[in-house]
Amino acid sequence: MKLKVNGEEREVPSGTTVAALLPMLGIDGGRIAVEVNTEIVPKSEHGSRVLREDDQLEIVTMVGGG
């Protein structure tokens, strides 16, 4: 199925969860928040949140400067 990640189209197996997607993108889940269709998915739901065709994802990277 097709998804959009940070504006770019990606093909992933159907049934892919947020937790499964992150390693495909080469992303360490420890320093980011994952936004699906403008809402952040809580970290404890990354494993159970199954992505759907045409979902739009943004990977939000934490910044800590002040």
Partner 1 sequence: MARDTPLRDDQVERYSRNILLKEVGGTGQRKLLSSRVLLIGAGGLGSPSGLYLAAAGIGTLGVADSDRVDLTNLQRQIAHGTDCVGRDKVESMARAIRRLNPDVTVELHGRISEKHIPFADYDVVLDGSDNFETRFLVNDAAVRLGVPLISAAVLRFEGQLTTVLPGDDHPCYRCLYSGPPAEGTVPSCSQAGVLGSIAGTMGTLQATEAVKLLLGKGALMVGKLLLYDGWTGEFRTVCYRRDPACTACGGVNCGENGGA
Judge contact between 63 and 34, C-beta under 8 A: no
CB nearer to partner 1: pick between 12 and 29? 29
Residues 41, 51: Cα–Cα separation, whole Å: 11
Site for partner 1 in 3-62 (CB under 8 A): 28, 30-33, 35, 38-40, 42-45, 58, 60-62
| Least Cβ distance, residue 1 to partner 1 (angstroms) | 23
Residues 2, 16: Cα–Cα separation, whole Å: 11
| Least Cβ distance, residue 11 to partner 1 (angstroms) | 25
